[in-house]
Structures are given as structure tokens and as C-alpha cells.
Amino acid sequence: MSMNDDDAEILAVARAGFLDEAQEMLRQFEQGLLVLEEDPSDSESLNAAFRAAHTIKGTAGMFGCDAVVSFTHEAETLLEALRSGSRQLDEDVVAALLESRDQIELLLGEVQSGEEDPGVKASSEALAARLRALLGATAAAAHAPAATAPSQAPATGALGEPEDGGGDGCWHLSLRFGHEALRNGLDPLAFLRYLATLGETRALRCQTEAIPNLDELDAEACYLGFELRFDSKAKREDIERVFEFALEDSDVQIFEPGTAPAAFEELATRRCGEDPKARAALFQCWHEMGMRFKVRLEVAAVTAAETEAETPQAIPHIERRVGPAEEGKTQKRSDRRSGEGERREGGRDRRAGDETRFVRVRADKLDKLIDLIGELVIAGSGAQMMAHQEASPLLVEATQRVMDLVQETRDGTLALRMVPIGETFGRFQRVVRDVSKQLGKEVDLVVTGGDTELDKSMVDSIADPLMHLVRNSMDHGLETQEGRIAAGKPPMGRLALNAYHDAGAVVIEVSDDGRGLARERILAKAVERGLIAEGQVLPDHEVWQLIFHAGFSTAEQVTDLSGRGVGMDVVKRNIEALRGSIALSSEVGRGTLTQIRLPLTLAMIDGFLTMVGGVNYVLPLSAVAECIDVPAECAAQNERISGTFDLRGEVLPWLDLARFYGISPDTSRRRSVVVVRDGQTRVGLIVDRLMGEHQTVIKPLSAIFQHLKALAGSTILGSGDVALLLDVSGLLNAAIRNGQQIRQTGTAAFAHAVLKS
């Protein structure tokens, strides 16, 4: 691979990292604004939003994303006006800034795709004009990015000499980039381009004195430095933030207009040491840039002739006295941006700590690693089986140790993909805010259990179903303020998101304190659509499940949010595709609770291996409650598929898996009942043999097997045989609903017991 290819790959990786980080910054930006809307006095949230916008603008400038930089600057300027108190926060400002967040996301999308949309450009210009209008003419002038007005009168120095500090009202920046800057992905010119968004560069000199001879030159090292005069009305911290990403690999000195000459003498000493030639060259550079202050040159190390020949006559000689107080101020100002100052050292420590704690890994590489761990689990099971067949205690012990290590490796690898679901919950604060304003309702969003961890792939997949449930609750569930007051409720509705672990699964709940589900209306709609017979009596559980039929809706009016009967069937289908289940419970006038139950991961599980009719079946170990002999009442009905039995005073339903799947049971040996649970429901599954625990690597079923009932996938055993993974919730649903296959008299009792339990 050529050097250019290497550079392109490094740049592509850095660009992808920028886009990922920008999404996190947008989340912080939005979160800060939402908190501010509730509490305008929260200065920390305002600062967090400002920092997020500034970080996006700064990093976008480094990658040449001019459209992002230009628009984000408008939002940043309005935020700065809020911070300074020149503009007060109101509803219009919050709305415009939130729309700015969405616009920045669109602009970042253009960066990612590499394609520009004229519509996005037009909306950026319109929204930027709106931001400037909200800022007001006075504030806009105070925070303009570039100084277009004439320069101020020359600033005077501390002792009143009009020539001190350059006399042109400009900032002076002295930049030296470290040798590793280019290798670490820094582009010195990118910082200069970004600096131009804050003002005008009046003079610029590139310092090349550090460039070695050609035979000593490292093509990947950086030897550049810059001296520049910068005319800007920006604050010092704004200019400092331009270079905050380069603190590790550069030495940045920033001098305000009117800085005393002593500070420049000290800078010359830092840059040149006691080399009078280098000092003279640096002062000559400053003089050519238009700086007219006079400084004392130390020429003890060279002869007068050398000094006269190499030091320009335009730099006169003058003695300058600096008082103790001024000297202390100068030292602090220099230390603030020097390589030895506390600020830089603190920044370096923080960055080093972050690098030791976090490593960015591509998702496809992690998926490949998990696949390899899965194959290792299968191979380890085969080796363990062979060791038992050889009946060698030493070999059995060795393989057991290997399997223990494989299991720890498996758990550790899967943990790499586990992320808190709170990040997904956080997205809904903006949704609730926007939808509540659209509907004219006051809604209080309560989020709990945000630290509950779930597989990253499942977190991404569950976002859309949750979005639909949240919007449904706000549109159909929660009443208007007038309706709530009339019902004796608080005017503000309550919408809650909750997550917790339960029996090896993750349960996500969406609840509201609204009007609840209208049972009679649902039944009437179901009869109208022919889903049930008129007069048919159904328990609440089955009534609520009618909502998940395609096209089912009881809404009297179609709105922009819902009412077309599109969505709930998709929600259920998407959740079941994740091997999960969804259940509803509701009470008229009290609200509705939606529970989504998901497995922790889709890759590997601890399973319980059984055999039915010569076929291996695996149950999730977390769903197995206990194993017992087949009760007498089950054995007496050996021709039935299902029925009920008494388990220590509790009536439980049972299902014969062999007859359910249409295969002949093995009656030559004692059969067993595996009691499994799905949420609060328990059922006994009759199997032929119990094979024990088994680490299960889940393989998806081919499309030709998708029609099979209640199967969540397959796995490969150590012997090479295929085992089928049972879906417990799907098994119960199929057993209850499929009346064509279950005609025995025990079916009604079975279904009743399932629903009752």
C-alpha cells in the first residue's frame, strides 16, 4: 500500500471518528437545551450545550466541513449571547436552537454521504437568518466571527508608551507544532483556516528554522511554526479553544492587544534560548509583521560586527523596566498557554486517562470476534465429549479447564457489546417535548432503569418500536389538560420508561396514567373486521392482543401521529424478530402498561438440552424453573397434546412437545416435565430425555424453516448434530391459538390455566 493510500485510510478513520463523536455532541447539545427549557437558570446546562456546539464546529473545521462550521457558528453565537446575558432565554430561542441541532445533523449526514442537497443548504440559510434575528443587531455585532470594522486605536502599554504591544490593536499568536503532530492526525493549516472564522489574519510568517538538512529530514515529522497578527473581537477563551485539540502536540502562545514588551522578550527567550542570532531573527520577523515596540537585545554572545550585520537596523535598542506586579501578571499569562503550565498538564493527564479507558473498535470486527468465540464454544464441546468417551480423567480435567476459560472469554466478549439502554431512553426527551407541544398537552417523562444493559444490536433495533409506543401513549393514552382536570387528575400527564433485569431477560416498560384502553370499542372493531365472532367472550389478555393485528385501529380521527392502524403490528413483529415478546395491561381511567421482554443477547445463551422423539431441543436456561417426573394426571391422558396438572397445590398447564410437533414420543424410558416460565406464566413441557446444561451458540434458521412453530433458531452440538432452540413465549402462543392442530378437550382448560397463571 502506498503512502497516499495510508494517509487516505488514516483520514477516513479519523473522519468516521469525528462523525461518531459529533452524534454524542449533538445528544449533549439537545440534552442541555431541554434542561434549560425547564430551568433557564441552569448555567451548567447552557455551558454544556455551548461546549458541544463548539466542539462540533472545531472538529468540523479541521476536516474542512465548511457548511457545518458556518451554520454551527450561528447557533454558537446565540448560545454565547445567552451565556453573556445579552440575550434572554425564551421559547422561541429554545425552539430555534433545537431545530439547529436537527439541521447540524442533516449537514453531518451530507458529510458522511459526500453528497450535497440544495434543500439542506436553503434550510440552513433560512434557519441561520432566523438565529441572527433572534440574536438581535446589537448582540450580533458583539459576537461577529470576523472583524469588519476599522481597527481600534493603538493600545498603550503598561507604562504608557504608545508603541508597546504593536500598537495595531491585534492579537499576537506564536505557534510551534511538535514533531509528532502530523503522525497524530493534526493539520496545522486546518487550525489556521478555523481561526479565520473568528477574525482576520493581518500578518502571517511561517517559521522554518527547525527544518533540518535533507539527509536528516523525517518526511512524516512536523517542523513548522507560525507567527501571526490576528484582528478579532473574540474573547481569549474563544481563541484558545481553536487549539484545544492540539495541546498535546503544540506550543501555543496567545498575547492580547497591548501586551507589555516584557512578555515578548520572555517569549523570545523560550523560543531561542540564549542564541542571539535566533533572537534577532525572531524580532526581525515581528518587526516585518508591523509590530513597533522596542525591546532590548542581548548580544553578549556575538561581536558587535556580527550583530550589526545580522540584526536589522530597524530594531532599535531601548531599556524597559518592568515592575514586580506586572512581571507576575506576564508570567501567569505566559504560563497559561505554555507547555509547562498547569492547564496543559491537566489536559494531558485527562486525555491519557481517557485513552487508557476507552478504545474505539469497529462493530464488524467485534461481531467477527463473537462469531469466532461461538465456533470455539462448539469445538470445545466436541473436545469435551471426546474426552468423556476416552474415559481419561486427566483429559476430562484438561478439557473442563479449557471450557471454563472459553466460558469466561465468551462472557467477557459478549459484555463488550452490552450498552446501557439509558442512551436510547434519552432520545425520547426531545420526542416528548415536541409531540406534547404539537398536541397541546403537558407531559412529564419519567425515566428509570437507564443503566440496565442490553446488547448494542438490540438497543438499536428496539428504538423504533419504543418510539411508536411513546407516541401512541401521548396521542391516544394521555388526555388533554381539560380532560384530566375533569377526571380529577393532575393537569400534567405522566409517561414513564423503565427497564430492569428479570430471570435472564430484560424487561422494558412503557406506561402512562391516561384514559386506558377501551375494551368495548376494541371488541366492536374486532367484530367489524371479522377477527372474532359477535358475542364471543375473551379474557382481557386476548382482547389487548387484538390491537396487534395489521391495520387495527379504534381512533376516531386520523392525525399526523397515528390513527391509521399502521404500526402496532410492526412493533410486535420487530420485537418477536429479536426473540422477544410484548404484553399489554390496562385499566380504564388509570392508564396502560406495555411490557417488552427481550433476551440479553442474540449471539449465545446458556441453554438446557432435551430430547424429544430423537430430536434435540434447547430451552433457555434462564426460563427453566424445575424438572419433575410426568405427573399421573398427564400420563393418564397420553393421547392428548395438552392439559393441566396439580403442582404442589397450583394448577399448571402442560404441553407434550412430541405430539405438538407431530412426532412419536419415546415411551421406552421414563419421560420428564420441564417447568418453564415466561414472565408470570408457567407451563410444563413434557420431553423424552433431560440432557443437562449446554452452552448454546444461536444460528439463524434458513428461510425455508421460518414457518415452523415456536422455534427461535438452531445450534450445533459437540457431536455435530443440530439442536433446535425453542421459543417459550412463541410456544405458548402457538399452543393457545392454533385450534386446528389442538382439538383435544384439554385445550380449553390448558388455555384457561395459561391465561389465569
Beta strands in 95-214 (DSSP E): 171-177, 200-207
Amino acid 734: pLDDT: 58
* Percent of residues, the chain, with pLDDT higher than 70: 79
Instruction: Decide if pLDDT at 98 tops 50.
Output: yes
For 639, the 3-state DSSP assignment is coil
Cβ proximity of 471 and 590 under 8 Å: no
- Dihedral over alpha carbons 324, 327, 331, 332 (to 10 degrees): 70
Mean pLDDT of 608-616: 89
Amino acid 563: pLDDT: 45
Residues 30-59 have pLDDT tens digits of 988 888 888 888 888 888 888 888 888 878
DSSP structure string for 657-708: HHHHTT----TTS--EEEEEEETTEEEEEEESEEEEEEEEE-BPPPGGGTTS
CA gap 480, 141 in Å, rounded: 44
DSSP structure class, residue 151: P
Residue carrying the nine cell digits 420441564: 674
Beta strands in 400-525 (DSSP E): 418-420, 443-448, 453-455, 493-502, 505-512
Judge residue 703's burial from the number of C-beta atoms within 10 Å of its C-beta, 0-12 exposed, 13-18 middle, 19 or more buried: exposed
CA gap 22, 15 in Å, rounded: 10
Angle ∠(567,573,575) on CA atoms, nearest 5:
105
Amino acid 593: pLDDT: 92
DSSP structure class, residue 473: I
Instruction: Decide if pLDDT at 440 tops 80.
Output: yes
Instruction: Decide if pLDDT at 137 tops 90.
Output: no
For the ranges 265-279, 423-437, 442-456, the lowest mean pLDDT is seen at: 265-279
For the ranges 490-494, 594-598, 737-741, the lowest mean pLDDT is seen at: 737-741
CA gap 1, 10 in Å, rounded: 13
For 283, the 3-state DSSP assignment is helix
Cβ proximity of 107 and 69 under 8 Å: no
Amino acid 317: pLDDT: 37
Mean pLDDT of 676-696: 82
Residues 140-188 have pLDDT tens digits of 434 444 333 333 333 333 333 334 444 567 888 898 888 888 877 777 8
Listed ranges 434-438, 677-681, 699-703, 742-746; the one with the highest mean pLDDT: 434-438
Q: Which residues contact 138 (CB under 8 A, 6 or more apart)?
A: 86
Mean pLDDT of 625-645: 83
Instruction: Decide if pLDDT at 498 tops 90.
Output: yes
More confident residue, 678 or 192: 192
CA gap 35, 24 in Å, rounded: 17
Residues 462-476 have pLDDT tens digits of 888 898 999 888 988
Residues 300-328 have pLDDT tens digits of 333 333 444 444 433 333 333 334 444 44
Amino acid 736: pLDDT: 55
Q: Report the b/e string of 133-146 with b at 16+ CB within 10 A.
A: ebbeeebbeebbbe
The mean of the pLDDT values for the chain is 76
Cβ proximity of 651 and 748 under 8 Å: no
Mean pLDDT of 384-388: 84
For 182, the 3-state DSSP assignment is coil
User: What confidence category does residue 557 fall into, taking pLDDT thresholds of 50, 70 and 90?
Assistant: low
More confident residue, 579 or 724: 724
Amino acid 297: pLDDT: 40
User: Grid coordinates in use for 721?
Assistant: 448434530
- Nearest C-alpha neighbor of 473 from the set 439, 500, 499: 439
Amino acid 161: pLDDT: 39
Mean pLDDT of 229-255: 84
What is the edge-to-edge ordering of all strands in the sheet holding 711-716? Answer: 689-697, 604-612, 615-620, 722-726, 711-716
Instruction: Decide if pLDDT at 497 tops 90.
Output: yes
Q: Which residues contact 115 (CB under 8 A, 6 or more apart)?
A: none
Amino acid 357: pLDDT: 58
More confident residue, 562 or 285: 285
User: What confidence category does residue 337 fall into, taking pLDDT thresholds of 50, 70 and 90?
Assistant: very low
DSSP structure string for 101-169: HHHHHHHHHHHHHT---HHHHHHHHHHHHHHHHHH-HHHHHHT-SS--SPPPPPPP-TT--TTGGGSSS
Q: Which residues contact 265 (CB under 8 A, 6 or more apart)?
A: 295, 296, 320
Mean pLDDT of 558-572: 62
Phi-psi region of 196 (alpha: psi -120 to 50; beta: other; left: phi over 0): alpha
Instruction: Decide if pLDDT at 567 tops 80.
Output: no
Instruction: Decide if pLDDT at 351 tops 70.
Output: no
Residues 693-749 have pLDDT tens digits of 887 777 777 767 766 777 877 888 877 788 888 887 777 765 555 433 443 344 445
Instruction: Decide if pLDDT at 390 tops 50.
Output: yes
User: Grid coordinates in use for 617?
Assistant: 431441543
DSSP structure class, residue 398: H
Listed ranges 382-391, 508-517, 641-650; the one with the highest mean pLDDT: 508-517
CA dihedral (394, 397, 399, 402) positive or negative: negative
Helices 428-439 + 456-472 axis angle, to 10: 10
Cβ proximity of 274 and 338 under 8 Å: no
